[in-house]
């Protein structure tokens, strides 16, 4: 059985600081409205974040012990995806439906609170269970219970590529006939440790982030998630065409200065799809807003694609949702193809003159056949997801 060239994306759901669902996210992207605001808990430094303000549903009673913010995000996203999931379950046996979910923090927020309780009271809270509320495996278990998928299920945790690499896993799992359908995605939530960690690295901006701008000074952290259904066959709004993955082999927390690994990931995606750079209409960049990341990605994009293709960083809308980012930005890319637009890249003015990529300044309305979504991470992990319209 050969490598599948085109796998339909038969449905998706999304939630982030722009809104709780596709309709809200789409509306705010089109209007160029950012979702960044106050961090919803106290911190000893200034920053803004992409918090989700909408209420999240509770888990069913039988899963109450697993309830935390990421599992409630999972429930919210599954509820949105249910009509498409129902069709998937009709097409394939539960054992042929798998889950590959990206997350970098999973239940770290719950553990933060439990640890604070331990310090204050000398014991963990009665309702805290480390296995059920902290671990990556618990989030995947809950997603399996909510969706009815009974095939192999795991979390990918490669920091900021966590939500993008599941697309590559899905392609391989279907190509090697392990599965017929894979629920891929990414979910992460805001927690003080992550914000404090990026602050310690000097990577956090005290104001709204400005990806690719001359004035950029760091990232904003966001939260949320997205789930996408990848199937061997079916109908949907878009098609997963290729995934390029690479490693920088350079530094544990800094990108290769010339964007070598990023370039390799993009080139591998093009090679796998058998297309030329000119066949891609738009790039959703990793675009975090740190001086080093944006400089490296800008070089990599222009080296592979030149300086005409429209490039956007949607992190200026949502914040950097870390393990959720790759999936959220893939979902946004699908939306852009469905609706035929590229949103403006918030905060880019004045663009860094050393970055010659065509960073969008205003809404562009035109049909998009192919979009590439980039994600790059700590440890030099890189993933580029190539999708085309159905």
Partner 1 sequence: MSEPTRQLHVAGVGLWLPGVPNVEAWRGGARGITSRDEEFPKPSGASIERRARRRASPLCRALADAYCTAATQANIDVSTTSSVFGSALGEVTTMLGLLDEMSRHEPLSPMAFATSVHSAAAGTMSISAGNRGFTTSISAYNDTAATALFEAIGLLHSPGAPVIVACGDENSPDRFVSEDHAFDMLAVTLALVPPDHPAPRLARLSGPHRAEADLPPAALPPRLGRNPQAGLLDLVAAIVAGQTGTVALDRGRGTGWCVTVSEA
Tell me the catalytic residues: 160, 286, 320
Q: Give the residue with the Cβ less far from partner 1, 24 or 124.
A: 124
Element (H, E) at 12: strand 7-15
Shortest distance, CB of residue 346 to partner 1, whole angstroms?
A: 27
Number of H helices, E strands in the chain: 11, 15
Which residues lie near partner 1 (CB under 8 A)?
1, 3, 44, 93, 95, 98, 104, 108, 111-112, 114-116, 118-119, 124, 130-131, 134-138, 140-141, 152-159, 165, 169, 171-173, 175-178, 192-193, 196-202, 245-253, 260-261, 264, 377-381
Shortest distance, CB of residue 125 to partner 1, whole angstroms?
A: 12
Full DSSP string of 142-164: HHHHHH---S-EEEE--GGGTTT
- Under a CB-based contact definition with an 8 Å cutoff, are residues 35 and 16 in contact? yes
Q: Cα(196)–Cα(204) distance, rounded to whole angstroms?
A: 9
- Under a CB-based contact definition with an 8 Å cutoff, are residues 282 and 336 in contact? yes
> DSSP secondary-structure letter at 139?
H
Q: Give the residue with the Cβ less far from partner 1, 178 or 364.
A: 178
Q: Give the residue with the Cβ less far from partner 1, 24 or 178.
A: 178
Shortest distance, CB of residue 12 to partner 1, whole angstroms?
A: 22
Q: Give the residue with the Cβ less far from partner 1, 141 or 297.
A: 141
b vs e for 65-78, b when ≥16 Cβ sit within 10 Å of the residue's Cβ? Answer: ebbbbbbbbbbbbb
Shortest distance, CB of residue 221 to partner 1, whole angstroms?
A: 13
- Under a CB-based contact definition with an 8 Å cutoff, are residues 75 and 157 in contact? no
**Residues in Cβ contact with 178 at an 8 Å cutoff, skipping those fewer than 6 apart:** 98, 151, 152
Is it true that the peptide bond before 365 is cis, omega within 30 degrees of 0? no
Place of tokens 């990341």: 293
Count of CA atoms in the C-beta half-sphere (13 A) of 224: 35
Q: Give the residue with the Cβ less far from partner 1, 202 or 350.
A: 202
Of the candidates 297, 12, 326, 378, the residue with the CA atom closest to the CA atom of residue 168: 326
Q: Give the residue with the Cβ less far from partner 1, 282 or 320.
A: 320
Q: Give the residue with the Cβ less far from partner 1, 18 or 174.
A: 174
Alpha-helical runs (H) found in the chain:
22-31, 69-91, 108-121, 130-133, 136-147, 165-175, 192-200, 260-273, 291-305, 315-318, 325-339
Shortest distance, CB of residue 178 to partner 1, whole angstroms?
A: 6
Shortest distance, CB of residue 151 to partner 1, whole angstroms?
A: 9
């Amino acid at each position: 059985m050969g490598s599948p060239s085109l796998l339909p994306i038969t449905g998706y759901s999304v939630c982030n600081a722009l809104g709780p669902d596709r309709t809200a996210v789409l509306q705010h992207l089109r209007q160029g409205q950012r979702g960044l605001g106050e961090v919803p808990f106290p911190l000893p430094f200034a920053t803004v974040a992409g918090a989700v303000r909408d209420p999240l549903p509770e888990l069913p009673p039988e899963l109450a012990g697993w309830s935390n913010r990421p599992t409630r995000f999972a429930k919210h996203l599954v509820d949105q995806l249910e009509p498409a999931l129902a069709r998937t379950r009709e097409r394939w046996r539960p054992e042929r439906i798998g889950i590959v979910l990206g997350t970098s923090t999973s239940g770290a927020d719950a553990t933060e609170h439990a640890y604070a309780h331990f310090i204050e009271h000398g014991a963990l809270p009665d309702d805290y269970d480390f296995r059920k509320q902290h671990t990556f495996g618990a989030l995947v278990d809950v997603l399996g219970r909510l969706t009815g998928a009974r095939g192999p299920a795991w979390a990918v945790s490669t920091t900021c590529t966590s939500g993008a690499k599941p697309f590559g896993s899905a392609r391989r799992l279907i190509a090697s006939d392990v599965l017929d359908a894979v629920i891929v995605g990414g979910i992460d939530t805001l927690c003080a440790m992550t914000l404090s960690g990026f602050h310690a690295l000097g990577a956090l901006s005290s104001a709204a982030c400005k990806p690719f701008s001359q004035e950029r000074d760091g990232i904003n952290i966001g939260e949320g998630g997205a789930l996408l259904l990848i199937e061997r066959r079916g109908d949907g709004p878009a098609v997963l065409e290729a995934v390029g993955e690479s490693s920088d082999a350079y530094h544990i927390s800094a990108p290769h200065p010339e964007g070598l690994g990023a370039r390799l990931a993009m080139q591998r995606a093009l090679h796998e799809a058998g297309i030329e750079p000119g066949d891609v209409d738009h790039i959703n960049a990793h675009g975090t807003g740190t001086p080093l990341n944006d400089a490296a990605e800008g070089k990599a994009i222009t080296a592979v694609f030149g300086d005409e293709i429209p490039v956007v960083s949607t992190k200026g809308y949502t914040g950097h949702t870390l393990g959720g980012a790759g999936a959220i930005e893939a979902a946004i890319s699908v939306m852009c193809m469905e609706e035929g637009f590229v949103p403006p890249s918030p905060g880019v003015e004045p663009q860094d003159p050393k970055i010659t990529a065509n960073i969008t300044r205003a809404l562009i309305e035109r049909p998009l056949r192919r979009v590439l979504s980039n994600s790059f991470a700590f440890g030099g992990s890189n993933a580029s997801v190539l999708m085309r319209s159905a």
